[in-house]
Structure 1
Amino acid sequence: MISAQMKRTALSAILLMAAAMPAYAHVGAGTTSSFAAGFMHPLSGLDHMTVMVAVGLWAAQKGGKAMWAWPAAFVGVMLAGGALGMLHVPLPFVEPGILASVVALGLFVALAVDLPVTAGVAIIGAFALFHGHAHGTEVPENAAGLEYMAGFAVATALLHAAGIAAGLGLGRRFRVLVRAAGAACTAIGLGLVLGAV
């Protein structure tokens, strides 16, 4: 049975997706023709860094299989979304989905939402599809585009690892700081939605 807290969180995410303005951080932004450019892209956008670290923090909160399954799901589905974008397969609500991912994943960390690993994989994968599609539409359909996506995937995995390391480093003793980091992610997401950041 779905808890009232989860229903409120899901409803909030849906409403934010519907109301979100484009982040303008993706299609046509920057160079997209090398591994280095792909590697640097997640490090140059607040939405990217926030989501990637939040996935790691949430995985550390959950522990166990989530610490490898959730980041792996994000990277894998992101690459699949990238392939769809490169093939010009349309996907609705990409920018709102990206912005909602910042808010929702921050909320999951802030509220220490404890879901089954498979449910986390599904949620994280859904958000990763939007991130990947946005980047796939940016890249050329050749080897340079594949290099860019490889760089993006490596940087994404490293940001996940940083979130996991921070979550584990703070551990049980400083659990409140991990939750505060989640709240900060949510605040950043809301700022992006409202155009204040």
Structure 2
Amino acid sequence: MNVEGKGKVWLLAGAVCVGVWLVQNGSQNITPPIPSAAQAFAAGPRFHTDAAADPMPVSSPVRLRIPEIDVDAPVTRLGLAKDGSLDVPPPEDGDVAGWYRHGATPGARGTAVVAGHVDNARGPAVFYSLGTLEKGQRIEVVRADGRTAVFTTDAVEVYDNEDFPDRKVYGESDRAELRVITCGGGFSERTGYRGNVVVYAHLIGVRQPA
């Protein structure tokens, strides 16, 4: 996978794919959920379920919530490793989401990228159920400025590693968009996860601090 930004193409390696738990327990009956075809884009990447809100000023994310799948996770910053791949939270931090800090901040103009583990050696991790998310369901990102960026899900798609659509996932946007990414698409004990689950969302509102 590649992530684009600032005129350069950066590699976003599938390091969020662990799979140790599946190998330990046998993967046949516990593979993470895969999104249904009904959750894919109906008419290309600009399909949306709601009007878009105006982009917010830049502010780093501190927490990510997806109520429908019981995600309420702190957010850490991710950079690039020496080989150009995206750093990810340590495997033992299975309940932490990671924001790509060289890209857009969630709620600001552009495409913000959040990645996290689907599992680790202890079992399901923060984004294990990401494939069950549906169009129109909400994602909330609490930011350092105290405001909460509220997104709606436009689509949930799964891609094979060899056919990952870089530009579709990471391409620039004039509005505030969000991508939430984890591993999925089947599992092989020899090679690990075969692909990635990607949630596409866009900003529809802002909740002010209490």
TM-score past 0.5 threshold: no
Q: Going by fraction, where is helix more abundant, 1 or 2? A: 1
- Give the TM-score taking structure 1 as reference length: 0.27
Q: Going by fraction, where is strand more abundant, 1 or 2? A: 2
Task: For CA contacts below 8 A with separation 6 or more, give which structure has more relative contact order.
Answer: 1
- Give the TM-score taking structure 2 as reference length: 0.26
